[in-house]
Structures are given as structure tokens and as C-alpha cells.
Structure 1
Amino acid sequence: MITPEPLAGKQVLIPRGAGQAKSFSRLIEKYGGIPVEIPLISFKPISLDGNLKQVLNSLESYDWIVFTSNTTVETFLSFFPEGLPAHLPKVAAIGDRTGILLEKKGLGPHFVPSKYVAEVFAEEFIANINPGSRVLIPKGNLAREHIAMTIRENGSYADEIVVYETVLPEPSKLKLKKALTGGGLDILMFTSPSTVNHFMEAVEEYGLRDEADRCIVACIGPVTHQRLLEFGFTVHASPEQYTVADMVESTIEYLESVQ
């Protein structure tokens, strides 16, 4: 059972950007924690080149569009300032928040997996589409190819288009250095492999590994978990459901188990 303020006094890294950090921070504050917002990822829409324009102008040729995140949805829609075409493919989403956003935009979704991870999505999605279906997957430059590969291996077509680049905001490096060296972080929370990679970029640049190792580590998803293990971290909390709320709850359960 969760006590009223199980994170009391704990300073928690919030790795999301300002636009996505607010609800995350409120959740930490709800349990008495102190959110430390240091964006470890920022998203930059790519320029509209000829190939991307061609794909965007032929959406009706696809049977499905797969959205893997809110960022993918927002960036994709930004390419249609005058509104989307009247006839669109069916829409699939990974993640409850992505599904909610799509619903608000009037775009379904028509399919959501039982677990919010690429491996489960791919397995369940191919069972729900017709052989030979054409699937469009907007993505970031660092996204994996697992979904597209699985679709192709099962007799359908998958086109991936990069719609944004994932970068580390330069000011965040110094913010992270200040937080770690000043004892200002007790819990590190990672929401994607990219947040881990960018965190370690700063840690290695400033020689902060000892400071990082003193922190409790939590993450969402098996790929993020594996990335942390590859960097030699002990992962103290990694929930079965891949949401921020479940990660926070899993962290609280860990803290209560070691008290």
C-alpha cells in the first residue's frame, strides 16, 4: 500500500521537455517528491524534402498508419497546416497517451496493443491486418525498425519515414552536471533509450559516474532497461506496464521494500 508521501524529500530527475514534463512533475509532487526537470531529449522536425512530400501526398495508398508516440503524431500533423486529407488509412497507436491524443484529433485509433512496447505491438498488429497491407510508419531518426521488419516478414508492406530528429538540448548538460555534483538528484527516471544515451553523454563528458551510481534508477520498457544494463547500471524499478504512472508506483514499491 502506498503511503501518503512515499517520495518525501526525494529529488527526482524528470527527463522530458517542458511541453511533456508538467504531468510527470505533478505526479512526483503528489507523492511528496521534488521534480528536477532537465530535458534529456528535444525533437526537431525535419525539412520537407521531395521524398517526404511524395509520401505525404499519397496517404490514400496506405491501409494503415502506425504512430509510436505523441511526438510522432504532433510532428506528422504539423506537415498538414490546412488539415488532413478527407480519406485516411486506419490508424494504430503504441501507448495509452498516444491513443488518447489521436482520439482527441479525431483519428481513432483503430488498433492499440495490450502492452505498449514494439515487440508486442508488432505481434498483435500483424494478426489484425490483411496480408499484403500497406503500412506507413512515421518515426524519429533514432527509432528502431522492429515493427517494420516484422510487418514485412509477414507478407505486408511497411514504409518508414523519418519526420523528426532526436537531440540533446545543450543547456541540459550543465544543468545535469550541477544537479549531480550538488547532490541534487536521488532518483533517476528514464522514459526511453534516448534519454539514457543523452544522460550518459553528459555523465561521461563531465566524469559524473560516481554521482550517478549513488542514485536509484527507474525506467519504462525492456529496451530502456537493457540500455541501462549495457551502461552498467542497476535498475531498481521497471514496471510491467510501460507508463510513467506505473514507473513511479514501481519506484515507490522499491523504496518501501528497502526501508
Structure 2
Amino acid sequence: MREAPRLRVAAFRPDDERLANAVELLESLGADPVPDPMLAVEPTDAAPREDCDYVVLTSKTGVELAADAGWEPGEATVCAIGESTAAALREAGYGVDVVPEEFSSTGLVATLEAEVAGARVEVARSDHGSPVLTDGLDDAGAYVHETVLYRLVRPPEAGESAQLAADGDLDAALFTSSLTVEHFLDAAEERGIRDSALDGLKEATVGTIGKPTKETAEGAGIPVDVVPDTADFEALACEVVEAAAPTHHE
């Protein structure tokens, strides 16, 4: 009996240990990874302000850049969106005071809104941060300042997965943010294959982390099959491979 071909699954994480870990995970699940980084980090060399009552970090990358810049939170209440950001803060030697139950901008606003009126809140993140966070804190009466620690750009070589999708050779795709969706489509557009890549994704199993990413994908005409309850890449990969496998092996 001939062995069924392996699922070809695209991962769009930045080209660092996150992409290497994604490849290792997908291989352990019996899939054939397509590592296609749709995000690259360009540091701005800025650091979070130190004269604030609360400071919000939203990503592992932001924590690492803040630590590299020698940032010290002083007496500020340190807030992390998500356990991965909190873990990065602890690994860098910082304390973590607040992690919302819902790992999102909305979740953090809900956690802080009753206590930040009149407080100075520093939000340190990428240039693509959601206004939900800053607007929500502002509406709660906080004095909000945002520092852009890094820009997220699309690597010029990105797009192998778009070509595979256009050719009907991509079985699944793992979108981890709205920006990965947008950059995938931009890469397809550059190659003149946007429509055929979209058609290919309609035949594939598509997973997203979080509702905002799902909404971005669906707004672009990409049906979403899987949104894990946990905002975690491992959960996303496992659920997508599991969802894709039955169709793939029929």
C-alpha cells in the first residue's frame, strides 16, 4: 500500500527561533513544513518610557528589545498581553504584575479600565499595534503614551506559500496575525497570482490565531476553518493538521 503524501503546511513566523520551532513542530506532527516568513523585525532603537505608572508590553520581541536597551520599569505596574510575553519578561529578569485572562487588547483594557483613570500608561510595541488598546485605555481616563519599539515589514523573498497555493499544492496555512494575512496577499499580488492564491486557500485548511486575524482573513475572502481557543502556535498547528488530515487522506 502506497504511503499517503505528507500534508504541506505553510508557517509565516519571523525567521528566527520561532520559525525553526514551527518547522520542528510540524515535522513532529507528520507534516511537510513550508517555512515562509511574512514578518521581519526592524528595531527603532527606542525604549519604553520609565516615568509611568503602568507599562504594557505586547510581545516577546518587544520585551527583548526593551531589555537590550537597558529599560528599567522602576515602580511601574508591568502588564503583559499573553503568557508568552509574560514568560519573556520573567526570562529577562522583570517582574510581571498583570496578565489578562483574555490574551488580547480588549482583555487587557477590561482588566485595567477600573484602575487607570489619571494614571500614566506606557504602551511599548510594534508599529502595527491595535488602536483597541490605546483607545480603550484613553477612554478609561488614562494618560496614554505609545512607544514604537520595532517595525514589522515583509521580507522581500516571502511568497513561496502563495505560489504553492496558486498551484493547488498547499494543504494548510497557519496565520498568526492580521499582518501575516496582509503580507501573504501582498506577496501574491507582486507575483500576479493573488486570485489563484486565494482560490488555493479556499481548498486548503486555514487556521488563525485570534478573532482579529480571522476577521482579516475572511474580509479578504479567505475562509477560516480553525481558530484555537488558546492563542498559541502549537495549538494552532495541532488543530489545523488534525483538521486537514482526514480530507488529505481520503
Normalising TM by the smaller chain, what interval? 0.7 to 0.9
Say whether 1:62 aligns with 2:49. no
Say whether 1:215 aligns with 2:204. yes
What is the one-letter code of the residue matched to 1:70?
K
Say whether 1:146 aligns with 2:132. yes
What is the one-letter code of the residue matched to 2:123?
I
What is the one-letter code of the residue matched to 2:205?
I
The equivalences for 1:37-186 within 5 A come to 37-48=35-46, 56=49, 59=50, 61-80=51-70, 84-85=71-72, 87-127=74-114, 129-173=115-159, 175-180=160-165, 184-186=169-171
2:222 to 224, 233, 237: 233
CA, structure 1 residues 202+256, in 2 after alignment: closer, same or farther (shift >3 Å)?
closer
What is the one-letter code of the residue matched to 1:238?
V
What is the one-letter code of the residue matched to 1:246?
A
Q: How big is the shift at 1:183? A: 5.0
What is the one-letter code of the residue matched to 1:77?
A
Question: What whole-Å deviation, never above 9, does each CA across 1:8-38 have from its counterpart, x for those lacking one?
Answer: 7111111012212122222212211111111
Q: Which residue of 2 aligns with 1:3?
A: none
2:22 to 24, 32, 37: 24
Question: What whole-Å deviation, never above 9, does each CA across 1:29-57 have from its counterpart, x for those lacking one?
Answer: 22111111111001101255xxx7xx64x
Q: How big is the shift at 1:123? A: 0.7
Contact 1:9 1:34 in 2 (8 A): yes
Question: What whole-Å deviation, never above 9, does each CA across 1:197-234 have from its counterpart, x for those lacking one?
Answer: 00000112221432433322111011100000110111
What is the one-letter code of the residue matched to 2:206?
V
What is the one-letter code of the residue matched to 2:76?
P
* CA distance in structure 2 between the aligned counterparts of 1:167 and 1:46, rounded to whole angstroms: 12
Q: How big is the shift at 1:184? A: 4.5
1:243 to 215, 229, 232: 232
Question: What percentage of aligned pairs have identical amino acids?
Answer: 24
What is the one-letter code of the residue matched to 2:146?
E
Please list every run of 5 or more consecutive structure 2 residues that lacks an aligned counterpart in the other structure.
Answer: none
1:14 to 11, 34, 38: 11
1:189 to 162, 174, 177: 174
Q: How big is the shift at 1:77? A: 2.3
DSSP-derived class of the 1:18 partner = coil
Contact 1:117 1:242 in 2 (8 A): no
* CA distance in structure 2 between the aligned counterparts of 1:38 and 1:167, rounded to whole angstroms: 14
Please list every run of 5 or more consecutive structure 1 residues that lacks an aligned counterpart in the other structure.
Answer: 1-6
What is the one-letter code of the residue matched to 2:220?
F
DSSP-derived class of the 1:65 partner = strand
Aligned residues: 240
* CA distance in structure 2 between the aligned counterparts of 1:100 and 1:47, rounded to whole angstroms: 22
Q: How big is the shift at 1:88? A: 4.5
Deviates more, 1:249-258 or 1:96-105: 249-258
| TM score, norm. by length of structure 1 | 0.84
Q: How big is the shift at 1:122? A: 1.3
DSSP-derived class of the 2:85 partner = helix
Give the superposed CA RMSD.
2.3
* CA distance in structure 2 between the aligned counterparts of 1:109 and 1:166, rounded to whole angstroms: 25
